[in-house]
Amino acid sequence: MTPRQVLYSSHRAQFVPFEVSARERCPAFDFCEVVPKKNPPPNVEEINLAGTIPEITNNLTKQQRTLKPDFMHNLEQIIDECVHACDVVSKVPAVRALFNSSMVFDLVIVEVFGSECFLPLGRRFDAPVVGLLSSVPLPWVNEQLGNPEATAYVPAYMMGYGQRMTLWERFANTMSVLIAKIIYRYNSQIPSQAIANRLFGAGPSLEVLAQEYSLVLSNSHFSINEVRPLVPALVEVGGLHLDDTEKLPRHQSSNMAGLAKKWRTFGYRCFAYGDISLLSLHLGAGRKKQFELAKSHNEIYLSISIRNERVVLKWDFKTLLDTSLEGVVYWSFGSMSRIETMPRDALNEMFSVLAELPLKILVKMNRALLPPNITIPGNVYTKSWIPQYKTLCHSNLKLFISHGGLLGIQEAVACGVPMLVIPLYADQALNARAMVDRGIAKVLSLSEITSNAWRDSLHDLLTNHKYKENAISLQSLFLDRPLPPLEMGVYWIEYVLRHKGAKHLRSPALDLHLYQKLLLDIILINISTHQYRTGSPKSISNLKCEKAKSVPFLSLAMIYHAASSVISSTLRVRFQPQAQAPADVVETTVSNALKLGYNHIDTAFNYNNEEAIGKAIKNWINSGEGTRDDLFITTKLPHVANRASDVRRFVEMQLERLQLDYLNLYLIHVPFGFHCDPEKLTPVVLDNGNYSLDMETNHVNTWKAMEECHKDGLIHNLGLSNFNQQQIAKIIKEVEIKPQVLQVELHAQFQQIPLRTFCMENDIVVTAYAPLGSPGAKDHFVTKYNYSPDTFPNLLGHPDVKEIAAKHNKTPAQVLLNFLLSQGVTVIPKSTSEARLKENMDIYDFVLSPEEICCLKNLDRGEEGRIFNFLFWKGVEKHPEYPFPEQLKLIEGIENTQ
């Protein structure tokens, strides 16, 4: 019904036996094929795509660039071709009509390779999706399935390394995986998303849909493609295309009929992706047999084709093979590359060496396409097509000269034949290296082919018995399985159908953030614990300039930089009560931040934006972009609810506003309290302008009420905000659950070193608000509260900060945030700008030097650097729990000097 997105006949060759078997077992199987039939059966419907897409068959060696070891170019080329194919097919009216039909399917089978533009079919037909992968697991497929990469010992696609890599190879291997994912994201996923949206309309992103595969069958096997970790949803069926019927009769007809009857009993109707390639592999009598089989089972056999020719292939080398008792060498570059397009001089040298062999040579090539003045020896027999698997398994076949294509490698291994491999493209270098490591092959690159190198390699492979012995040993490992590859694949397809999509196979890794999968948070905790408890300074002041080169703290900073946004990439959606942004602005800001990867939202009852935030979160979750467990939501008990009797009422009210079942973190916003206007839920203001103070504030009782909410699952973590050291110490002494977080004003000119030292000793995480000196609040406080403009430090314009920023090619804001993180302080910068949100996340790829940290530490002005002393709430200094008595002394001292 929908084509595959590739143009390579080798991919088609792998899946043909599987598709045939599926049709035999399934009572109604709609399949998109590529070869139009002159007289299709009545139950076969075709969509002819002839001529719409160019073929990549038998011409690859003309593209000399692809002969270079340039995996990026190769990957980009493959992906661009796949995306183009999807784009062309998606515009065919008959295809669009088919996709929008009312037909019902129980299963969607797609090829997993270079584009995902047809993935929405799973949701379109409400059916599980199974992927067929023609290679080893690709980097983006591993990511989609939550499968570990293991780049330390699993060689990457296209890199050509073995499992025992050097330091440099492990580095290059890891970087190639990262680069491949980036290329796939921008060259495939983004343009494919546009195609999918045009074809199916708006819906979940392809990135989300790609994580919904029920199963992926990979054309790999650990015996030849390296040992690697595999999640249950990724099953190896390497050798799926191998047909052993002539060698090992399996009474398949009776088995197939029985399984077809079994599938009809289940009531299944199956649906699979076909191919849009120009292919010539599975044609002639075999095709007719498929049609008859489909008709006999009353199957709907649906076909998409882009070619009008027929090629009937006959085996005409059997006599030659049977009579060549001295042995035969078979040379083929597969379905994509032409031997005859190799440089003339290289071909002459190779043929001259082959003439020296006392063996017959079979070569897959078209003599008519050879360059002029090429002499073909008398012992060389050529044909434009040779039935490869049968040839390789003939008892007189001595050696296979190959380009290293995976299907040919599998066939040679299954037949126990040594190989001389000349890798040209894509994963062929990887396959070649694997065969060399197993002792059954030698490798030559095109640039290395000389008469001597060619002669020496052929002589070694044909005379050294170890290659044949190793090939027989590997053959045994490859074929020794509980089920043949085809039956294994069909078994798992049936498993998915029996268990209605088999969602239990989905890896939990898909629900984790990168830092969680890499255990960076655990590493951070271990380093931090070691820092605090084994010889680390007990006072942060010890880490000033004279200790600026302290290695443990710099290491801690580097781990912090690697950790996820749960620790430090935090969105602070904060608006002052009298300078509130409209609800739609708040909602848009939160939505943008979530899309950018922010997952810690800090708000408060006093900010009057909890309802807008709750709406944005709900829309994000409902869209399928994430789950509640992906988020860390912090809010605060307001200053009008500091009594124990107020706690549960406000917690439940705030949960309702946020549309949540629980809060990740709940803070007491300020240590003092005001009497509450019961209707407005705002502080009562007296006639003289003073705020009405609630003098009966009891922090311990309020905290114990919060502990009860924690026990009931409404709050997961408890903390404080704007408390001083003495107030925190009193709570710690008398409560069951100690404060886990303290949120305070903290920036380069107000670094709160004594308070941070106290928190470090008591395992309390310090979170900084106003980490940039709150430049956005300056106008509001100057206008409304008569603040002096000098109260707000110009940290973003400070010469030292700007100099450091220029050195790292960062903004001053990024340097200031990085500095606080390097000191073990988490940050919550306030922003409603999407550009600023992006900028605030881009702070983990550089590390400040000890000298730069020393310079920024010297900006600290102590208590004089404090911006927010809360005296704008008139009369608040008379509250017994006013937390900043040093501010009152400072202000009194300034007044006395005036």
Q: Which of 134, 135, 51, 126 is nearest to 89 (CA)?
A: 51
The confidence score (pLDDT) of residue 22 equals 53
SS3 451: helix
Q: Could you tell me the pLDDT band of residue 724, with boundaries at 50, 70 and 90? A: very high
What tens digit of pLDDT does each residue of 852-885 get?
Answer: 999 999 999 999 999 999 998 999 999 999 999 9
Q: Which two tokens stand for residue 816?
A: 């200031």
Would you say residue 440 lies in a domain? yes
Neighbours of 5 (CB within 10 A): 30
The confidence score (pLDDT) of residue 118 equals 85
Shared domain check, 272 and 326: no
**Of 67-76, 133-142, 865-874, which gets the smallest average pLDDT?**
67-76
What tens digit of pLDDT does each residue of 707-717 get?
Answer: 999 999 999 99
Would you say residue 508 lies in a domain? no
Side chain identity at residue 631, one-letter code: L
Using a pLDDT cut of 90, give the percent of the chain over it. 42
Neighbours of 631 (CB within 10 A): 18
Q: What secondary structure letter does DSSP report for 580?
A: P
Shared domain check, 456 and 351: yes
Name the strands in the sheet holding 441-443, side by side, starting at the edge strand that comes first in the sequence: 380-383, 360-364, 328-332, 397-402, 419-421, 441-443
Would you say residue 527 lies in a domain? no
Q: What secondary structure letter does DSSP report for 616?
A: H
Mean pLDDT of 751-778: 90
Residues contacting residue 88 through CB under 8 Å, at least 6 positions apart: 49, 52, 53, 276
Would you say residue 439 lies in a domain? yes
607 included as an active-site residue: yes
CB 860 within 8 A of CB 816: no
Q: Which is the catalytic residue, given 184, 607, 691, 844?
A: 607
SS3 162: coil
SS3 326: coil
The residue to which tokens 């008792």 are assigned: 325
Rounded to an integer, what distance in angstroms lies between the CA atom of residue 497 and that of residue 499? 5
**What is the helix (H) or strand (E) element at residue 260, kind and residue range?**
helix 252-266
- Name the domain boundary from 480, 505, 523: 480
Sign of CA dihedral 355, 356, 360, 365: negative
Shared domain check, 331 and 241: no
Note the residue count of the chain. Answer: 898
Would you say residue 625 lies in a domain? yes
Residues contacting residue 113 through CB under 8 Å, at least 6 positions apart: 4, 5, 6, 11, 78, 82, 133, 134, 135, 138
Would you say residue 596 lies in a domain? yes
Q: Which two tokens stand for residue 546?
A: 């004279």
Q: Could you tell me the pLDDT band of residue 263, with boundaries at 50, 70 and 90? A: very low
What tens digit of pLDDT does each residue of 370-396 get?
Answer: 888 888 998 999 988 888 998 999 999
**Of 14-28, 320-334, 496-510, which gets the smallest average pLDDT?**
14-28
CB 213 within 8 A of CB 227: no
As a whole number, the mean pLDDT across the chain is 79
Q: List Cα–Cα distances, 22 to 4, 319, 489, in angstroms.
A: 17, 35, 10
Q: At residue 897, does pLDDT exceed 50?
A: yes
SS3 121: helix
Shared domain check, 336 and 273: no
Would you say residue 511 lies in a domain? no
The confidence score (pLDDT) of residue 508 equals 92
**Of 21-25, 648-652, 720-724, which gets the smallest average pLDDT?**
21-25
**Of 419-423, 717-721, 811-815, 829-833, which gets the smallest average pLDDT?**
829-833
Shared domain check, 325 and 427: yes
How many domains in the chain?
A: 3
CATH number at residue 750: 3.20.20.100
Q: Which two tokens stand for residue 55?
A: 């073929």
The confidence score (pLDDT) of residue 796 equals 93
Where are the strands (E) in 661-740, listed by range? 665-668, 718-721
Pick from 337-341, 362-366, 446-450, 831-835 the range whose average pLDDT is largest.
362-366
Q: Could you tell me the pLDDT band of residue 217, with boundaries at 50, 70 and 90? A: very high
Rounded to an integer, what distance in angstroms lies between the CA atom of residue 76 and that of residue 60? 15
- Name the domain boundary from 447, 480, 513: 480
Q: At residue 591, does pLDDT exceed 70?
A: yes
**What is the helix (H) or strand (E) element at residue 428, kind and residue range?**
helix 428-437
CB 52 within 8 A of CB 411: no
Q: At residue 15, does pLDDT exceed 70?
A: no
Q: At residue 477, does pLDDT exceed 60?
A: yes
Q: Determine the structural domain holding residue 549 and report its residue range.
A: 535-897
Q: At residue 738, does pLDDT exceed 60?
A: yes
Q: Could you tell me the pLDDT band of residue 465, with boundaries at 50, 70 and 90? A: very high
Q: At residue 401, does pLDDT exceed 90?
A: yes
- Name the domain boundary from 265, 283, 305: 305
CB 390 within 8 A of CB 411: no
Residues contacting residue 66 through CB under 8 Å, at least 6 positions apart: 60, 73, 74, 77, 424, 425
Shared domain check, 325 and 295: no
The confidence score (pLDDT) of residue 460 equals 95
Name the strands in the sheet holding 826-827, side by side, starting at the edge strand that comes first in the sequence: 570-572, 600-602, 632-637, 665-668, 718-721, 741-745, 765-769, 826-827
Rounded to an integer, what distance in angstroms lies between the CA atom of residue 423 and that of residue 411? 16
CB 852 within 8 A of CB 804: yes
Shared domain check, 345 and 269: no
Shared domain check, 326 and 267: no
Residue 390 C-alpha from the chain's centroid: 40
CB 161 within 8 A of CB 155: yes
pTM of the shown model: 0.55
Shared domain check, 296 and 420: no
Q: Could you tell me the pLDDT band of residue 660, with boundaries at 50, 70 and 90? A: very high
Burial of residue 80 (CB within 10 Å: 0-12, 13-18, 19+) is middle
Q: At residue 363, does pLDDT exceed 80?
A: yes
Shared domain check, 322 and 300: no
Would you say residue 493 lies in a domain? no
The confidence score (pLDDT) of residue 313 equals 30
Mean pLDDT of 136-146: 92
Is pLDDT larger for residue 469 or for residue 579? 469
Cα atoms found within 13 Å of the Cα of residue 225, Cβ hemisphere only:
28
The residue to which tokens 């897409």 are assigned: 53
The confidence score (pLDDT) of residue 542 equals 40
Q: What secondary structure letter does DSSP report for 76?
A: H
CATH number at residue 384: 3.40.50.2000
Where are the strands (E) in 20-136, listed by range? 29-31, 44-48, 107-112, 129-133
Neighbours of 481 (CB within 10 A): 16
What tens digit of pLDDT does each residue of 80-130 get?
Answer: 888 888 888 888 787 788 778 888 888 888 888 888 888 898 888 889 999
The residue to which tokens 């001597």 are assigned: 452
Q: What secondary structure letter does DSSP report for 480?
A: -
Q: Which two tokens stand for residue 165?
A: 């890599």
Rounded to an integer, what distance in angstroms lies between the CA atom of residue 139 and that of residue 156? 8
Provide the angle, in degrees to the nearest 10, between the axes of the packed helices 753-761 and 725-734.
10
Shared domain check, 361 and 298: no
Pairing of strands 718-721, 107-112: unpaired
Rounded to an integer, what distance in angstroms lies between the CA atom of residue 345 and that of residue 487? 47
Shared domain check, 336 and 264: no
What tens digit of pLDDT does each residue of 148-201 get?
Answer: 999 999 998 878 888 888 888 899 989 989 999 999 898 988 999 999 888 888
